[in-house]
Amino acid sequence: MCGIVGYVGAKQVVPILFDGLKLLEYRGYDSAGIAVLDGEGISRCRRAGKVRDLEQDLRSLPPAATIGIGHTRWATHGKPTNENAHPQVDCHGKIAVVHNGIIENYMPLREQLMADGHVFSSETDTEVLAHLVESLLDGDLLEAVRKAVARAEGAFAVAILSSDTPDRIVVARRGSPLVIGQAEGETYVASDIPALLGRASSVQFLGDDELAELTADGFRVIDFHGNEVRRPSRSVSADPVSIQKGGYKHFMLKEIHEQARAVGETLREKIDASVQTVRLPSLDNAIPEFDHIYLVSCGTAFHASLAAEYLWEQILPVPIQAIIASEFRLRSPALSPRTLVVAVSQSGETIDTLMAVRRAKDGGACVIALVNNEQSAIDRESDAAVYMRAGIEIGVAASKTFTAQISALGVLGLYLAARRGTLSASDVEQEVGRLALLPGRITECLQQEESIIQIAERMHHAHDVLFLARGVMFPIALEGALKLKEISYIHAEGYPAGEMKHGPIALIDEGTPVVFLLSDGLAYDKVLANMEEVKARNGHVIAITDTPDAPAVLKLADDIIPVPASEGISRPILFALPLQLLAYHTAIWRGTDVDQPRNLAKTVTVE
């Protein structure tokens, strides 16, 4: 949520910041702004709305400025207005702050500052930091910021300018991501790597409770206690082309069609198709004997985790439970050194999942991170990690990271079962053989887009859509409903098909679309019976099935989307693909903003 970008060097800073903000739009926001510093002091430009709405106003900023900070805001404290947009400044306009996260104790801090004579001009918690730094500044900006953030409670990332020190930016983080980038004679900071692609040659993620002082010549890092922190930077490996649409109308459509590659890359380092074995050497010495497994995650990652629960239960004779991360801390999970906790997050920075990791660690559990971003907070705080190799995902609605998560979780389950001796070598070989064919199956499945466009046209006027399935397909139904509501704004719900008569059937009337995931061997006849019940109430049946020519399917379904027949880990992945296309094209027919749906953010870093 929100995006921060900053630059100090010799180049004109305004276009750099503007381009950086455009590259962070996928994170979700409702206003944007930039502050720059030159010999005349701090100048800023901010506006509610899109980054592009800033462009004309940027002409008012000094063009020769070579240091500045920018921000995209997702409103938490105060409405999305020009006055509440960042950067926020102190009483005298000498300190500018951009901030992601929430200052939980901002109200008592604000009241104390007002009692000391500070005058506030916004409703934001961010402005408190500007005034707090002002009150603590005595020549050393880094020290003033260190003292200020030590008094702040909550999760946050900040970047701060002071006209008294016009050659540096000070940044700090706790629970919200910041990455520092370097090139010759210039230093960058951003909330995520995409804003640095094509500019920085090396990057370093700032750790929790750390600050950094950035100048054109480099940066130094200290912790909140003032101790120096040293860690190596790493080269930027992502290709700038990955943050371009590549001829597609939207990033989401591009990323849907990148799934064969994303899944293939995720599997490539984890399976050896030549000898049909699984290899996860990073886990060999990291995992103790375990008698309980929790999978903790949020949103789409939770649906992948729930699919893994179904898959793992068939091969691992221990209790396995997928739990929404924000609920994990509110429950009383059985945690011990014999508990394995798998934390699943696309970004590796999801705040609720990070808090669940810390809860698990406090209870003595072994934590495995399953993330797309190495060196992210969840990766760093876990005992071991399994990495997706999906590449950068810009669309807010997850697509390729979902199927990459199921792929990686599936392989992790095979590894754990083989290690415990509950899955034979021949069973592993059979599953690895199927996985080796999966990228090709994905490509085949995505070739029926034209027929899905026609179904989406018929569905886009609906007020309610139900997604029904049984077994491992139930989490996929949940994901299909989530995708549709995220980007088309149609009310959609996913249910186990066996629960239809316990409530959802009340929503079905003339023409209500009901999407069934019907797979041979997964309570097939029972799902057909559910389809009969929907038809009896004049609902519109859409069957996504690996038996498209079955007489019962042809009789009951108004629309049929065929899926290649498969088993094991591949099956839920293949059934997810047409659901993604159906959601995408329904949203296109409705004219919504597919890549940046309202009120949503790619990375949720506030609780």
d(CA 564, CA 551): 18
Examine the pLDDT at 44 and tell me if it is beyond 90: yes
The domain boundary residue, chosen from 446, 466, 487:
446
Examine the pLDDT at 234 and tell me if it is beyond 90: no
The domain boundary residue, chosen from 417, 446, 475:
446
Q: Is residue 230 part of a domain?
A: yes
Q: Is residue 604 part of a domain?
A: no
CATH number at 229 reads 3.60.20.10
Q: Are 282 and 232 part of one and the same domain? A: no
Q: How many CB atoms lie within 10 A of CB 176?
A: 28
C-alpha torsion angle, residues 89, 91, 92, 96 (rounded to 10): -10
Q: Is residue 596 part of a domain?
A: no
Q: Are 507 and 585 part of one and the same domain? A: yes
Q: Are 257 and 351 part of one and the same domain? A: yes
Q: Are 523 and 585 part of one and the same domain? A: yes
What tens digit of pLDDT does each residue of 249-264 get? 999 999 999 999 999 9
Show the 3-state SS of 179-236: EEEEECCEEEEECCHHHHCCCCCEEEECCCCEEEEEECCEEEEEECCCCEECCCCEEC
Unique residue bearing structure tokens 């950086």: 20
Examine the pLDDT at 574 and tell me if it is beyond 70: yes
Q: Are 579 and 566 part of one and the same domain? A: yes
Q: Are 458 and 499 part of one and the same domain? A: yes
CATH number at 326 reads 3.40.50.10490
Our count of domains for the chain comes to: 3
Predicted local confidence at residue 605, as pLDDT: 59
What tens digit of pLDDT does each residue of 496-542 get? 999 988 988 888 999 999 999 999 999 999 999 999 999 999 999 99
What tens digit of pLDDT does each residue of 144-187 get? 999 999 999 998 999 999 999 999 999 999 988 899 999 999 99
Model confidence at 607, pLDDT cuts 50, 70, 90, reads low
Tell me, yes or no, if 445 is annotated catalytic: no
Predicted local confidence at residue 466, as pLDDT: 97
597 SS3 class? coil
Tell me, yes or no, if 400 is annotated catalytic: no
Beta bridge partners of 215: 218
Summarize the confidence of residues 417-439 as an average pLDDT: 93
Q: Are 142 and 156 part of one and the same domain? A: yes
Examine the pLDDT at 77 and tell me if it is beyond 90: no
Model confidence at 603, pLDDT cuts 50, 70, 90, reads low
Q: Are 342 and 491 part of one and the same domain? A: no
Model confidence at 1, pLDDT cuts 50, 70, 90, reads low
Q: Are 511 and 363 part of one and the same domain? A: no
Q: Is residue 580 part of a domain?
A: yes
d(CA 495, CA 478): 7
d(CA 399, CA 397): 7
Q: Is residue 601 part of a domain?
A: no
Q: Domain limits at 486?
A: 447-590
The domain boundary residue, chosen from 242, 277, 295:
242
Examine the pLDDT at 108 and tell me if it is beyond 90: yes
Q: Is residue 600 part of a domain?
A: no
| Alpha carbon distances (Å) from 575 to 91, 231, 395, 432, 468 | 57, 43, 20, 19, 13
Q: Please list, in sequence order, all residues whose beta carbon lies within 8 angstroms of the beta carbon of residue 311, skipping any fewer than 6 positions away.
A: 409, 410, 413, 472, 568, 569, 572
Model confidence at 241, pLDDT cuts 50, 70, 90, reads low
Q: Are 394 and 451 part of one and the same domain? A: no
> How does the average pLDDT of the chain come out, rounded?
93
Annotated catalytic residue within 2, 45, 298, 366: 2
Q: Are 348 and 400 part of one and the same domain? A: yes
Predicted local confidence at residue 238, as pLDDT: 65
Q: Are 466 and 433 part of one and the same domain? A: no
Annotated catalytic residue within 22, 270, 485, 602: 602
Its pTM stands at 0.84
Q: Is residue 398 part of a domain?
A: yes
Q: Is residue 598 part of a domain?
A: no
